[in-house]
């Protein structure tokens, strides 16, 4: 990942640049981008969180963010 051996240097994942690349890769490989583009917020929550705990709060935040764009 980004030329860094995270197995030998896991603390490098705390670097914001590397952390962002890890997050982007996770979103890509777990098809979260497609779910978000389809506005399937339930699926997004399941893919990211593994469950629907605090889903109402998550959905209200998503809806607020969508109104500002």
d(C-alpha 69, C-alpha 65), whole Å? 7
DSSP state of 61: H
Residue ranges with strand state E in 1-69: none
- Token pair for residue 69? 């764009």
d(C-alpha 68, C-alpha 65), whole Å? 5
Per-residue pLDDT, 2: 61
Residue owning tokens 């690349």: 21
In the chain, the largest separation of any two C-alpha atoms, in whole Å, equals 43
Give residue-wise pLDDT tens across range 1-60: 667 899 999 999 999 999 999 999 999 999 999 999 999 999 999 999 999 999 999 999
């Amino acid at each position: 990942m980004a030329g860094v051996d995270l197995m030998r240097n896991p603390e490098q994942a705390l670097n914001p640049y590397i952390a962002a690349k890890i997050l982007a890769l996770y979103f890509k490989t777990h098809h979260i981008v497609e779910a978000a583009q389809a506005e399937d917020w339930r699926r997004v929550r399941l893919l990211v969180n593994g469950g629907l705990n605090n889903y109402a709060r998550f959905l209200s935040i998503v809806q607020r963010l969508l109104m500002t764009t």
